[in-house]
Structure 1
């Protein structure tokens, strides 16, 4: 896959800043790419890495030996560190992965004038890994640039943050998402629907298309509809079922639940609002409002966000889901 700046949807200011710094040789040895999931941070990191390794002055050119190696995924001077998951535990970047990277990064480059290391989901480093990386960022050996990608900047050590140039990314405009989906051969009508449900995330729009993510959206909506009458037998049954899902699937489900609760708050202000994410189920959301007063929705949102945060740790998923369902049920049924 070829890598070009033009392939990145949106983020024009960030692309311009990086290209200017590259031309003027002002890019620091460590850059932190931070922002919401699925907006193109890692993809831009790939393009930036290709530009740093490219033989041309204003790369990536797409034609030199370095660019061809990057496109084929075989560049000897490009290293990528990813979180690893054991069983159903949360994905973690451990110190062994950082130490292995440090050995490779300290070697003399083979094809380019330097090496580039991209650490994806850098917030997944455990404490030992972070401390080990910190030493390398303070005193890097040889010509190497570090690109850290994260959707949770606050989870990183302040000392690591202080040694990286931050580059923040916002959500991608709907029209840019539609164009990106169209380039993948997705029909215009579906592309517009996916973009409206993506919350500004190209990655989420693609996941919806490829993995039938709307089924999880619809399940979250059914859950809200049943919540006012849910008994404890249903709580235990649903908690067991959800506790058997993987963290990625649960995270997506909670994202949809969060978005629909947000839509309900918007509908309280304007029942015909076009600002909601899930326009296709507006009628169902409106029908739920009598059972969900605004204070209840705010309490539910707080529980959802707390659970989303806890999903990032190595908690027992069955117990987490039991506590979540019981507390959600109590908020709705006690306050009504």
Structure 2
């Protein structure tokens, strides 16, 4: 697949900045692309890598040997480091992966004039891996550019951040998301519904479409509807079922629950608000408001966000789900 700047939806300021720096030959040896998940950071990183390796002035040209190699995913001078997961554990970039990359990156380029290393989810590096990468960023060997991609810039060592040129990304405008989704064959109405639920993340909108994510959204709504009447056998049963899910699925479920609770707070202020995410279930959320006073919603949101944070650790998922369901049930029943 050819790589072009125009293929990245939104982020016009960032694209212009990068293209200008490339044209003027003043791009630094390390860049840190940070922002929310699914907004196109890695895709822009791929385009930038193709431009750095391209032989043309207005890169990437899409036709030279380097561009063809990048399009086929076989460029010998492009390296990508990704987190690795074992079982249900959190994905990690370990020092072995960084050391292997360092050996490859230090070699003389084969096809282009330099090498490019893209480290995706750089915040997943463990301490040893970060310290090893820091030494390379301080004293890179050979002609190499590092592109670090992260959704959690604050999780990286300050010393790593300080040695990279920061490039921050916001969410993608809804109209741009609709255009991308429509370009993939979705009907305009469906594209708009997915865009409104995806909170500015094209990746999340595509995941909703491809993996039937709305079923998880509907399950989160059903959970809120039944929460007050949930007895302990139901808590244990639901906790066991959710504890068997993978972390990505759980994270998505909690994202929807978080968004619904936020929508309910917005509806308290304006029942007809167009600012909610879940416009298609506005009436169901309005019907829940009498059972969920604002203080209760704030308490539930705090529990949801705490659980979202703990999902990023190696916590036992079954125990985490049990604690979550019991505490949520206690909050709504104590404050009847």
TM-score class, shorter-chain normalisation, is over 0.9
Q: Which residue of 2 aligns with 1:34?
A: 34
Partner of 1:194: 194
Measure how far apart 1:143 and its partner are: 0.6
Question: Could you report, residue by residue, the CA deviation over 1:156-186 in whole angstroms, capped at 9, with x for unpaired residues?
Answer: 1111111111110000001000110111111
1:44-73 residue CA offsets vs partner (Å, 9 max, x unmatched): 000000000000112000000000000000
Aligned to 1:130: 130
- Deviation string, structure 1 residues 285-331 (Cα, Å, up to 9, x no partner): 00111111111111111111111111111111111111111111111
Residue pairs, 1:107-122, within 5 angstroms: 107-122=107-122
Q: CA deviation at 1:136?
A: 0.5
Matches within 5 A, 1:197-236: 197-236=197-236
**For residues 326 and 140 of structure 2, what CA distance do their matches in structure 1 show?**
50
Corresponding residue for 2:12? 12
Distance in 2, Cα, partners of 1:311 & 1:62: 41
In structure 2, the partner of 1:180 is: 180
Where do residues 53-92 of structure 1 align in structure 2 (5 Å cutoff)?
53-92=53-92
| CA distance in structure 1 between the aligned counterparts of 2:13 and 2:264, rounded to whole angstroms | 33
After TM superposition, the runs of 4+ consecutive aligned structure 1 residues lying more than 6 A away are none
| Counterpart-to-counterpart distance in 1, 2:275 and 2:248 | 27
| Stretch moving more, 47-56 or 187-196 | 187-196
Of 61-70 and 298-307, the range deviating more from structure 2: 298-307
Q: Distance in 2 between matches of 1:31 and 1:332?
A: 46
Q: 2:330 maps to what in 1?
A: 330
Map of 1:264 onto structure 2 = 264
Distance 2:133 2:299 in 1: 39
Q: How many residues are paired up?
A: 336
Unaligned stretches of 5+ in structure 2?
none
Deviation at 1:25, TM superposition (A): 1.1
TM-score (norm 2): 0.99
Q: TM-score, normalised by structure 1?
A: 0.99
Question: Counterpart in 1 of 2:250?
Answer: 250
d(CA) in 1 for partners of 2:222 and 2:280? 15
Q: Could you say what secondary structure the match of 1:79 adopts?
A: strand
What residue is the counterpart of 2:50 in the other structure? 50
Root-mean-square deviation (CA, aligned residues, Å) is: 0.7
Measured after TM superposition, the shift of residue 271 of structure 1 is 0.3
5+ residue gaps, structure 1: none
1:126 is displaced (CA, Å) by: 0.6
TM-superposition CA deviations, 1:222-251 (whole Å, max 9, x none):
011111121111111111000000001001
